[in-house]
C-alpha cells in the first residue's frame, strides 16, 4: 500500500514512541538526561550532536535495549522495530552470505528476503559474501534486514557510514522512499549536518540533553546549535539535492536523458548543471562545506540489530 505521508499524523494512535524526561546513569554520571521526544507514524526524526552526545544511547532507550534510570519511555503496543545499529557483532573471519545475514536474528522466508533486497536495490547480491560488499552495499544490506519484517519504526544509527558522497545521497533518498511507501516512522542518527537536514521533519540536537529541536530550518538558525557546532554550523544551509543522474545499485549510472553508462564524467555530454560543488566528477551542488565523519564498522562488534517487537 502506498501511503505518501509526510510529517506523520496527529492522532494519539500514530505515536510510536515517546520519551518523557528520560535519563540514564552509568558509573556515577548521566549519559543523557531530561530527554523528551516522540516519533509518530510517517515522521522522520533525526538526532544530531557531537561524539559522545548520547545519540546512540537515546536511540537504545527509545527501542528498549536500555532501560531509563529516570523518566519514562512509552512504546505503541506491538510496535515492530527495525534497527540498524552503529556496530555489528559478527565474526568476520567466518563466511557469511547476505542471505544468512538477513536471517541472523530471526527467520525470514525467501520471498521476504528478496522483497527487502529488491527494495534496497541489492537483490543481485543475495549470495554475495558480506565481507566483500562495498560500504554502500553493506549499509543497503543492513537496511534490507531492518525493513524485512515491515517495521512500524525504523531506527538507523548512522546509516551512511562508510558510504561516499554520491552513495550517501542515494541512501538518504532510499530511506525517504521507504518512509513514503510504508508510512513507518524513522529515528535516524547522523553526523551529516547538510544532507540529512532536508529530508527530516524534526531535528533534535543533543549534547547530553536536548540543546534545541525543531524543523531543519529553525534548528540550523538556533544559537544553541551554532554554539554546539561552532564554525561548521555557520556555513550550514539546508541542502537542496538536485543531481542530474542516478547511481544504479550495480554501479552503472543512469542519466537524465535515460541513457545508462558504466561511469559518469562531467564532460560526457550527459551533465547539464555546471553550478556548485563537483565531487569526483559528479555534479552534486550543495550549500556550505561538508563536515561529516565516517567510519566503516564491518569489523567492530557490539550488537546485531535487525528487527524486534516491543
Ligand X SMILES: Nc1ncnc2c1ncn2[C@@H]1O[C@H](COP(=O)(O)OP(=O)(O)OP(=O)(O)O)[C@@H](O)[C@H]1O
Which residues here bind ligand X, judged by CB under 6 A? 26-27, 31, 49, 51-57, 86
Q: Among 294, 307, 310, which Cα is nearest to 85's?
A: 307
Q: Which is nearer to ligand X, 140 or 191 (CB)?
A: 191
* Residue among 125 and 193 whose Cβ is closer to ligand X: 193
The distance of closest approach from Cβ of residue 302 to ligand X in the complex, given in angstroms and rounded to an integer, is 10
Distance between CA 167 and CA 110 in Å, rounded?
Answer: 27
Taking the complex as a whole, the smallest distance from the CB of residue 73 to ligand X amounts, in Å, to: 15
Cβ–Cβ < 8 Å for 101, 88: no
Q: How far is the CB of 31 from ligand X (least distance, A)?
A: 4
Whole-number minimum distance, CB 242 to ligand X, in Å?
A: 29
Output 56 or 120, the one with its CB closest to ligand X.
56
**Three-state DSSP state, 1:** coil
Cβ proximity to ligand X, 52 vs 269, nearer residue: 52
Give the ranges where the chain is alpha helix by DSSP (H).
Answer: 55-63, 98-102, 110-119, 135-147, 165-182, 195-198, 216-221, 223-234
**What whole-number distance in Å separates Cα of residue 128 and Cα of residue 96?**
8
Q: How far is CA 299 from CA 41, 86, 87, 146, 302, in A?
A: 33, 12, 8, 19, 10
Rounded to the nearest whole angstrom, what is the least distance from the CB of residue 207 to ligand X in the complex? 9
Return the number of the residue (179 or 191) whose C-beta is nearest ligand X.
Answer: 191
Scan for cell 520519551, then name that residue: 19
C-beta of 31 vs 144, nearer to ligand X: 31
Nearest approach in angstroms of CB 29 to ligand X is: 8
- State in angstroms the smallest separation of the CB of 286 from ligand X: 22
Give 52 or 251: the residue with its C-beta nearer to ligand X.
52
* Grid coordinates given for 1: 500500500
Place of cell 514512541: 17
Handedness of CA 150, 164, 269, 288 (dihedral sign): positive
Residue 299 CA to chain centroid, in angstroms? 20
Amino acid at each position: 500500500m502506498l501511503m505518501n505521508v509526510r510529517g506523520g499524523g496527529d492522532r494519539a494512535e500514530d505515536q510510536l514512541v515517546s520519551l518523557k524526561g528520560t535519563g540514564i546513569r552509568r558509573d556515577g554520571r548521566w549519559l543523557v538526561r531530561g530527554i523528551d521526544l516522540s516519533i509518530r507514524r510517517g515522521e522522520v526524526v533525526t538526532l544530531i550532536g557531537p561524539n559522545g552526545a548520547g545519540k546512540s544511547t537515546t536511540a537504545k532507550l527509545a527501542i528498549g535495549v536500555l532501560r531509563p534510570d529516570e523518566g519514562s519511555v512509552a512504546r505503541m503496543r506491538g510496535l515492530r522495530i527495525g534497527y540498524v545499529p552503529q556496530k555489528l557483532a559478527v565474526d568476520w573471519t567466518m563466511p557469511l552470505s547476505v542471505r544468512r545475514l538477513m536471517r541472523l536474528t530471526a527467520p525470514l522466508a525467501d520471498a521476504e528476503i528478496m522483497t527487502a533486497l529488491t527494495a534496497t536495490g541489492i537483490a543481485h547480491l543475495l549470495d554475495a559474501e558480506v565481507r566483500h560488499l562495498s560500504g554502500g552495499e553493506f549499509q543497503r544490506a543492513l537496511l534490507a534486514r531492518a525493513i524485512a519484517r515491515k517495521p512500524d519504526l525504523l531506527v538507523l544509527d548512522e546509516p551512511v557510514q562508510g558510504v561516499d558522497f554520491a552513495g550517501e545521497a542515494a541512501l538518504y533518498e532510499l530511506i525517504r522512499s521507504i518512509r513514503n511507501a510504508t508510512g513507518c516512522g524513522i529515528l535516524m542518527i547522523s553526523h551529516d549536518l547538510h544532507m540529512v537536514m532536508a529530508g527530516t521533519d524534526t531535528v533534535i540536537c543533543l549534547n547530553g540533553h536536548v540543546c534545541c529541536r525543531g524543523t531543519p530550518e529553525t534548528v540550523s538558525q538556533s544559537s544553541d546549535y551554532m554554539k554546539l557546532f561552532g564554525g561548521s554550523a555557520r556555513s550550514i544551509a539546508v541542502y537542496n539535492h538536485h543531481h542530474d543522474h542516478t547511481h544504479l545499485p550495480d554501479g552503472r549510472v543512469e542519466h537524465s536523458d535515460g541513457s545508462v553508462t558504466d561511469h559518469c564524467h562531467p564532460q560526457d555530454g550527459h551533465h547539464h548543471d555546471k553550478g556548485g560543488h563537483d565531487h569526483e566528477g559528479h555534479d552534486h551542488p550543495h550549500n556550505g562545506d561538508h563536515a561529516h565523519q565516517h567510519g566503516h564498522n564491518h569489523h567492530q562488534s557490539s550488537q546485531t540489530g535487525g528487527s524486534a517487537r516491543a
